[in-house]
Amino acid sequence: MEINLQAYDERRREILDRLSRIPGRVDSIRLYLKNIEAVKRFSCATWTSRQDVIAAVSSGENTGFAECILSVNCPEASLEPWRTAVSCLLGLDAGRAALENRRHQGEWPEQLVEMMEIALVDLCGKLQGVPSNHLLGLQESKAVCGVHVILSDQMDEVAESAQWARQEGKAAYIKVKLFGDTRLDCEVIRTVRRYCSPEETFLIGDVNCGYRPDARAGVSLEWIARQLDQLREAGLDACEDPAFLEIPEWVELQKRVAPLQLIPDYPMRGSRDSIKRICRGMGGIYNIHPDSAGSIIDAVILAGRIRELGAGLMVGDDSLVGPSASIWQQLASGLGARWVEATEKRRESDFYYRCVNDLATDSTHNPIFIQWKKGFGINLDEARLAREVDSTVEVKR
């Protein structure tokens, strides 16, 4: 393993060295905060709102964009701490700023580091006139489908959403939130299957560890396996984070519940650390999760490790609605992911779409349409964006 990890470290250094040579001083950083009110139900919590941040990093006439979630259920959240933090990137060449940003891993919130890195890599691609995927060493692209996600324990809402996905051509991959209640979870699965057959829909369930919320829950692996067998019989194809599991338990549980495919998510966070922990056999598909990866550079390196372990790869979501959804779609294509969950959202992305001048992706198509452009191909009307959001801060030279 050490030899393999050394090889991955070398690949990371190659990407960072490539970026470090890109000139173009960062002269302005804007952060836009939008409070999105939308109820999302999970086994572990309920969101009533989330505070979405869009970053714009400029060098002359070029601007890189990105996005992350600042907080959940905190509509009073302030951008001031982040404004103060990112001011240290001003005056540096864009590539050097990306390296400086990484120095704050473990100090700044993971999603802030990730967002600023994405914006800087977007900016570097625009400054160089090449797709940013190429700067990350991703030269190829593969067709990738977006996942339609259903976040509800109300069967009428589940039914409506499944029917909408089928009518709109988005039913190839559907993900439902499950709740650690076998009877309820089976009802959710059967409701989707009423409209979307196994022949046309690969159905994923995300339990958020609902069948064993923590290591002290005293729930046996045998009992968890029995619950997952019932979910598979109800029509589930893959299960993400069924329970809190130690690494050896992931391997054993996958053996017990096959052909149901497990999808480890929480063990994959953040990418720079999980590469040291994961092993073969934890599941059929491994998840790289936006806003928790901590770095798209580290995520690219982690994807290589996942392929070495013989597993499939998916790209998750953190309820993104804007630039980073498009960017993770492009990354998913370059990484050869089976699907990408990070797609723009019905109604929630409306404010963002009103500000779009140009996008490289169109997630209304499945597979997602991608037209490769400079950087990540995002061009926003920032004057309009400033009117659409709830608050804005700027730091500049």
Q: Is the dihedral of CA 328, 333, 339, 345 positive or negative?
A: positive
Confidence bin at 377 (pLDDT 50/70/90) = very high
**Angle made by CA atoms 357, 361, 363, in degrees to the nearest 5:** 115
- Condensed to tens digits (0 to 9), the pLDDT of residues 197-233 reads 999 999 999 999 999 998 777 899 999 999 999 999 9
List the one residue out of 306, 314, 328, 388 whose CA is nearest residue 111. Answer: 328
Mark whether 348 and 254 lie in a shared domain: yes
- Condensed to tens digits (0 to 9), the pLDDT of residues 91-134 reads 999 999 999 999 999 999 999 999 999 999 999 999 999 999 99
* Whole-number pLDDT of residue 3: 47
> Where on the phi/psi map is residue 15: left (φ > 0), alpha (ψ -120 to 50), or beta?
alpha
- Condensed to tens digits (0 to 9), the pLDDT of residues 166-203 reads 999 999 999 999 999 999 999 999 999 999 999 999 99
* Whole-number pLDDT of residue 11: 94
Give yes or no for a contact between 249 and 219, defined as CB atoms under 8 angstroms apart. Answer: no
Confidence bin at 389 (pLDDT 50/70/90) = very high
Q: What length does the chain have? A: 397
Mark whether 112 and 211 lie in a shared domain: no
Distance CA 187, CA 174 (A): 15
Q: What is the mean pLDDT of residues 341-366?
A: 96
For residue 140, pLDDT beyond 90: no
Q: What is the mean pLDDT of residues 371-391?
A: 98
Distance CA 241, CA 212 (A): 10
- Condensed to tens digits (0 to 9), the pLDDT of residues 297-335 reads 999 999 999 999 999 999 999 999 999 999 999 999 999
Mark whether 128 and 68 lie in a shared domain: yes
What is the domain count for the chain?
A: 2
Give yes or no for a contact between 33 and 24, defined as CB atoms under 8 angstroms apart. Answer: no
Mark whether 155 and 267 lie in a shared domain: yes
Give yes or no for a contact between 264 and 282, defined as CB atoms under 8 angstroms apart. Answer: yes
Q: Which residue has the higher pLDDT, 261 or 217?
A: 261
Q: What is the mean pLDDT of residues 327-346?
A: 96
Q: What is the mean pLDDT of residues 122-150?
A: 96
- Condensed to tens digits (0 to 9), the pLDDT of residues 18-69 reads 999 999 999 999 999 999 998 777 766 778 899 999 999 999 999 999 999 9
Mark whether 156 and 92 lie in a shared domain: no
List the one residue out of 333, 325, 272, 296 whose CA is nearest residue 139. Answer: 333
**Angle made by CA atoms 18, 111, 332, in degrees to the nearest 5:** 60
Distance CA 40, CA 196 (A): 22
* Whole-number pLDDT of residue 40: 74
List the one residue out of 272, 292, 268 whose CA is nearest residue 282. Answer: 268
* Whole-number pLDDT of residue 43: 62
Mark whether 48 and 170 lie in a shared domain: no
Q: What pTM value is reported for the model? A: 0.95
Mark whether 156 and 124 lie in a shared domain: no
Mark whether 114 and 166 lie in a shared domain: no
Mark whether 289 and 340 lie in a shared domain: yes
Confidence bin at 284 (pLDDT 50/70/90) = very high
Mark whether 114 and 149 lie in a shared domain: no
Distance CA 149, CA 343 (A): 10
Distance CA 88, CA 323 (A): 23
The string of DSSP letters for 282-333 reads S-SEEEE-TTTSS-HHHHHHHHHHHHHTT-EEEE--SS--SHHHHHHHHHHH
Listed in sequence order, the residues at least 6 apart from 138 whose beta carbon sits closer than 8 Å to its beta carbon are: 300, 331, 334, 335
Domain that holds residue 75: 2-136+383-396
Structure tokens at 377: 């191909």
Mark whether 186 and 232 lie in a shared domain: yes
Mark whether 49 and 180 lie in a shared domain: no
Residue 277 belongs to domain with CATH number: 3.20.20.120
Confidence bin at 144 (pLDDT 50/70/90) = very high
* Whole-number pLDDT of residue 215: 76
Residue 106 belongs to domain with CATH number: 3.30.390.10
